[in-house]
Copies of this chain bind each other. A is one copy, B any other.
Amino acid sequence: MIVDGRKRVVIENITPQINCGRFPAKRVVGEKVQVQADVFSDGHDQVLASLLYRKTGARKWNQVAMQPLVNDRWQAEFVINEISEYEFTVQGWIDHFRTWQKDLFKKYDDGQNIDVDLMVGVNLLKEINERAKKADKKKFEKFISVLEGEDKSEAIGLALSEEIRELTDKYPDHNRATIYSKTMKIVVDRPKALFSTWYEMFPRSTADDSKKHGTFKYCQQKIPEIAGMGFDVLYLPPIHPIGRTNRKGKNNNPKSKKGDPGSPWAIGSKEGGHMAIHPELGTLEDFKELIKTAGEHGMEIAMDIAFQCSPDHPYLKEHPEWFKRRPDGSIQFAENPPKKYEDIVPINFETENWEELWKELKDVIAYWIDKGIRIFRVDNPHTKSLAFWEWVILEIKTEYPDIIFLSEAFTRPKLMYRLAKAGFTQSYTYFTWRNSKHEILHYMNELTKTEVAEFLRPNFWPNTPDILPEYLQYGGRPAFIIKLILAATLSSNYGIYGPAFELLVNEALPGREEYLDSEKYEIKNWNYKVKGNLRELIGIINKIRKDNPALQATRNIRFLPVDNEYLLAFEKSADGDTDTIIVIVNLSPYHKHSGWLELPLDEWGISESQTFLVHDLIAKDKYVWQGRRNYIEINPHSMPGHIFKVHRKLRRESDFDYYM
């Protein structure tokens, strides 16, 4: 059992480590992985530790010396350079030379005779020299002769020097090093996994005339405007043929009228299933054209993956075994009793034929990847088997590492987290319903300062076609702006269900958070010119995001104290802290609020007496501030929030021009 009982160092509690190493942590190219571990040994010897990391499959480990924190905790970090799975572990060992040097200093300091100790040092150096490279052997020999020499003070000076330790540090004795028994994985995505700006739009509502069905060609015409607002992902609800059986009418009416287009999530008809395109939207060629045009404007098309079928889906005939039948021979519709979804048939993931099912669903994803899609928004993943998602995402990403999967799960927290662990690149969150300062602080802490930050990348949505939250129903235009600023600055990934949001649509079914006359069941002809619409402001906010790396990450948030329960303030910094943003929002869409904001001047390296420039990137105002506490007053009816860029240091004379 015990290979070498002389390995005295133990390693515990390595982070990041999700479910004891069962799941990887997540990073994008360019991000750091900060690794911590408890590393210690019996006794008083000097322990050292190094972080070992490599691209999975590489033979050699890269080593980074870990630095001791307090209480036997050690830390090191490495930067992800490539889209590749990485793995890491930790190694710890006792450094006898450093132990000797540390003890020698204490004895010398205490006035003890250290003649024999110097001889011990000579022996240690000789031992290390056996491992040394040729180029260093001379140095070792020189050091040894000094330690053995007549001049005691020179010997002691050298023995206690950094110079000698730097040399010996190059040749650690790893013979009895402990390597932690597990390796932890890092799954790496492209940068868009961390920083993306989503716009959701129903392509069928894009025609220039309400009587017409929108098409990909009409969509294409909208691309410049949407890109102009600063979005880089255009997410389309399902584009597949819509079933006719039990097609839903306006406002989810179980009986549709002639001409009702039905819900795009009722996928499949005689025209085809998940690999087909709804004929009224256009052709596959049109769709590819749309992808191309989007690309030319710096946007990607995100496709909806909704693994469910209308009763007319070809799968029902081809694979009846994938669906449940009831004793009367009828098909088992989707239901969450007492709610019924008669236009949708769920796939039975407990089918005997699950292996073929899994392969088919994987083929659906691969089919659209082949057509140029790189981003998928997955509808209700929490009603499909977790084992399936873990398998299919790994399968797909092994072949196509740049694919992004967004989990649209609004369900119980542990299930949402498990989906993220299982591989989803980004996740919908409860942000949609977090409004008060306490709620936001608490939730952001959970998402960014706990283990969750390692495996879940939030994507904040103030609204979706399924959710018009009460806050937006009753908060008026200020509420929309508040949620926009929060979504866009709290989280580096955010999105809006576009037209309805930017046009301030706030009418819901009575007592519910469902849109009145929801676009899910009808074609809309949006009036983009509605007064007070947020198109310009959205453009400003998204430009601020694009210009400031501080807003292109989520874990870098730090909340700042304000002595008013309605004022929320936080700081984000990036680029070695050269880019610092402060966001301050009045969470009340109704009333003016004021308070004192406390600034982290010490961390900024700004003294109490020094003035510094802050630049409100929304209103384009500039202020000269001084001191730790600054008075803030926000009227939600003019602009409910500020996004300040902090000029932390005056670096050039010309900077003075700003305000002198």
A-side residues, CB < 8 A to B, are 2, 5-8, 10, 12-13, 19-21, 38, 40-44, 71-72, 102-104, 106-107, 109-110, 112, 116, 119-120, 122-123, 176, 326-328, 330, 335-338, 349-351, 354-355, 358, 381-388, 391, 412-415, 418
* Chain B min CB distance to A387 (Å): 5
Counting every copy of the chain, the complex holds: 2
Residues of A contacting B: mostly = mixed
* Chain B min CB distance to A326 (Å): 5
Tell me if A326 and B12 are in contact (CB < 8 A): no
Tell me if A338 and B72 are in contact (CB < 8 A): no
* Among all A-B residue pairs, the 4 with the closest Cβ atoms: A110-B338, A119-B327, A20-B20, A106-B337
Tell me if A71 and B326 are in contact (CB < 8 A): no
* Chain B min CB distance to A352 (Å): 8
Tell me if A391 and B2 are in contact (CB < 8 A): yes
* Chain B min CB distance to A523 (Å): 31
Instruction: Report chain B residues within 8 Å CB of A385.
Output: 5-6, 8, 42
Tell me if A386 and B337 are in contact (CB < 8 A): no
* Chain B min CB distance to A327 (Å): 4
* Chain B min CB distance to A305 (Å): 15
Inter-chain pairs besides A71-B412, A72-B415, 4 sampled, C-beta below 8 Å = A71-B414, A112-B338, A116-B327, A123-B327
Can you name 17 A-B pairs with beta carbons within 8 Å?
A5-B355, A5-B358, A6-B385, A12-B414, A20-B20, A40-B418, A42-B382, A42-B384, A42-B415, A43-B382, A71-B414, A103-B335, A110-B337, A110-B338, A116-B328, A116-B330, A119-B327
Contact of A8 among B2, B21, B386 (CB under 8 A): B386
Tell me if B6 and A354 are in contact (CB < 8 A): yes
With the chains together, A29 CA to B98 CA distance in Å? 47
With the chains together, A104 CA to B116 CA distance in Å? 86
| Contact status of A387 and B119, CB under 8 A, knowing A350-B176, A382-B42, A414-B38 | no
Tell me if A328 and B71 are in contact (CB < 8 A): no
Contact of A350 among B8, B104, B109 (CB under 8 A): B8
With the chains together, A13 CA to B335 CA distance in Å? 30
With the chains together, A584 CA to B382 CA distance in Å? 52
| Contact status of A12 and B19, CB under 8 A, knowing A40-B415, A103-B337, A109-B338 | yes
Q: Which of A42, A107, A120, A349 has the most CB of B within 10 A?
A: A42
Instruction: Report chain B residues within 8 Å CB of A109.
Output: 338
* Chain B min CB distance to A403 (Å): 20
Tell me if A116 and B326 are in contact (CB < 8 A): yes
Tell me if A388 and B338 are in contact (CB < 8 A): no
Contact of A5 among B21, B71, B391 (CB under 8 A): B391
Instruction: Report chain B residues within 8 Å CB of A358.
Output: 5
Q: Which of A10, A41, A107, A337 has the most CB of B within 10 A?
A: A337
Q: Of all chain B residues, which has the CB nearest A107?
A: B337
Tell me if B42 and A383 are in contact (CB < 8 A): yes
Instruction: Report chain B residues within 8 Å CB of A384.
Output: 42-43
Tell me if B120 and A326 are in contact (CB < 8 A): yes
With the chains together, A464 CA to B335 CA distance in Å? 69
With the chains together, A388 CA to B43 CA distance in Å? 13
Tell me if B72 and A349 are in contact (CB < 8 A): no
Tell me if A71 and B337 are in contact (CB < 8 A): no
With the chains together, A109 CA to B338 CA distance in Å? 8
Tell me if A383 and B338 are in contact (CB < 8 A): no
With the chains together, A154 CA to B386 CA distance in Å? 39
| Contact status of A119 and B326, CB under 8 A, knowing A2-B391, A338-B107 | yes
Tell me if A338 and B119 are in contact (CB < 8 A): no
Tell me if B8 and A418 are in contact (CB < 8 A): no
Tell me if B176 and A42 are in contact (CB < 8 A): no
With the chains together, A5 CA to B162 CA distance in Å? 59
With the chains together, A387 CA to B11 CA distance in Å? 12
Tell me if B6 and A349 are in contact (CB < 8 A): yes
Tell me if A387 and B120 are in contact (CB < 8 A): no
With the chains together, A647 CA to B379 CA distance in Å? 59
| Contact status of A387 and B327, CB under 8 A, knowing A40-B415, A106-B338, A412-B71 | no
Instruction: Report chain B residues within 8 Å CB of A71.
Output: 412-414
Q: Of all chain B residues, which has the CB nearest A415?
A: B40
* Chain B min CB distance to A174 (Å): 14
Instruction: Report chain B residues within 8 Å CB of A120.
Output: 326-327
Instruction: Report chain B residues within 8 Å CB of A38.
Output: 414
Instruction: Report chain B residues within 8 Å CB of A116.
Output: 326-328, 330
With the chains together, A383 CA to B40 CA distance in Å? 12
With the chains together, A644 CA to B418 CA distance in Å? 48
Instruction: Report chain B residues within 8 Å CB of A110.
Output: 337-338
With the chains together, A241 CA to B13 CA distance in Å? 42
Instruction: Report chain B residues within 8 Å CB of A328.
Output: 116, 119
With the chains together, A383 CA to B45 CA distance in Å? 10
